[in-house]
Structure 1
Amino acid sequence: MLTQERDMNKFFKNKQRGAMLMDNMIAVGFISMLLIGIVAAIPTITHKLNVSNFQKQATDISTAAVQWKKARPNFTGLSMDELCKYELISKSHCSGASAVSGSNPFGGDWTLTPTQGTFTLTATLPNLTGETGRQLDLADTMAPMTKGQCASSTGCSTIDASSADSLIMKF
């Protein structure tokens, strides 16, 4: 009787080994699918983070431009170099008293241009060249922040996204 019981236990032990292998394969498959999903989402997440950082930088620069103007009658003389000289913007945009290139989240430059009592902030977007949908998304995100406070960049006179590699915003 004891031998028969031992043989029976041995038989079931071997059967359970296969079940453990199957459990492990299912777990590895699930983890692999999860990792593939995460890796596939990285470009979208990165773009959204870049849009958020772009928005923050544009706000910081436009606020600094208004601080720079103070009691001056207009924005004549305003430039990124001026904002760097007065230390009104983040050091990530400046090297000493002059602006650095490639400081926006899309690898481009920021340019300030005074225009008739206001100023224009131009951002080059070399990392969005050829990605029209993402550039329009960025323009729509920035449209409410411009002087016209438009709901969308379409038909908005204070934002121009017609260039393939830049965005022009009037504040």
Structure 2
Amino acid sequence: MLKKQIASRKKARGASSVDILIYATLLIGLIAFVISKVPTINYMFNVSAFQSDVSSISEATYRWKKRRPNYSSVSLETLCQDRYLENSICGDANDGKSTNSFGGDWTVSPNTNSGLYDITATMPNDTDRINELADTMAPTTRGGCSEAEGCATLVKSANSITMTF
């Protein structure tokens, strides 16, 4: 009788070891899946931060205009020095260099039509997705375009996007 009890305990110990191996394998698989999604999640956060920054810059530029007749003297430096924008966009030197979510620069300048202004963002770290980001930003521009291709108020180059508002 005692030998049967000892034998059944040994079998139970073996079953719990197999259960632990199964759970460990599932946990490792789950961790590997989550790690594989990190670049995509990081890109989505960068796009969201980029959109938020463009919105903040556009709003600050509009507030800066006040009763001025046009945007002919607007610049990012002016917006930063006059505290229309937060430090996360302006940077320590108040010049918008290397402060966007893709590691690039922000620039604000008057458009050729002085009643409009341009926001330019460079993207040195993620140029392979510039088309997707330009399509994302096209509806927010003055023209409200459905896509970047053929949009008169959005110009993209190999590493930058210029949006007119």
TM bracket, shorter-chain basis: over 0.9
Inter-CA distance 100–154: structure 2 relative to 1 (3 Å threshold): closer
C-alpha distance in 1, partners of 2:137/2:77? 23
Q: Distance in 1 between matches of 2:163 and 2:96?
A: 20
Cα distance in 1 for partners of 2:134, 2:103 equals 16
Q: Give me the identity figure in percent.
A: 39
TM (norm. structure 2) is: 0.94
1:40 is matched with which residue? 36
Listed one character per residue, the Cα deviations across residues 113-146 of structure 1 (whole Å, up to 9, x for unaligned) are 10112111110001112x1xx2222111111110
SS at match of 1:126: coil
Q: Could you tell me how far 1:51 is from its partner in structure 2? A: 0.3
1:128: which partner in 2? 126
Once the two structures are superposed, the pairs formed by residues 13-32 of structure 1 within 5 Å of their partners are 13-32=9-28
Q: 2:150 is matched with which residue?
A: 155
Structure 1 residue 154: deviation in Å?
1.8
Please list, as runs of the form range in 1=range in 2, the aligned pairs for 1:1-171 lying within 5 A after superposition. Answer: 5-94=1-90, 98-115=94-111, 116=113, 117-129=115-127, 131=128, 134-161=129-156, 163-171=157-165
CA contact (8 A) 2:91 2:97 kept: no
Separation in 1 of the partners of 2:76 and 2:85?
9
**Alignment check: 8 A CA contact 1:140 1:152 kept:** yes
Query: CA RMSD, aligned part only?
Result: 1.3
Structure 1, unpaired ranges of 5+: none
User: Structure 2 regions of 5+ residues with no counterpart?
Assistant: none
Distance 2:9 2:123 in 1: 63
Shift of 1:52: 0.4
Question: Partners of 1:28 and 1:147 in 2: how far apart?
Answer: 54
Q: 1:103 to 1:96 in 2, by over 3 A?
A: closer
Cα 1:29–1:119 shift into 2, 3 Å: same
* TM superposition shift of 1:44: 0.4
SS of 1:57's equivalent?
Answer: helix
Q: Which has the larger radius of gyration?
A: 1
In 1, are the aligned partners of 2:108 and 2:118 still within 8 Å (CA)? Answer: yes
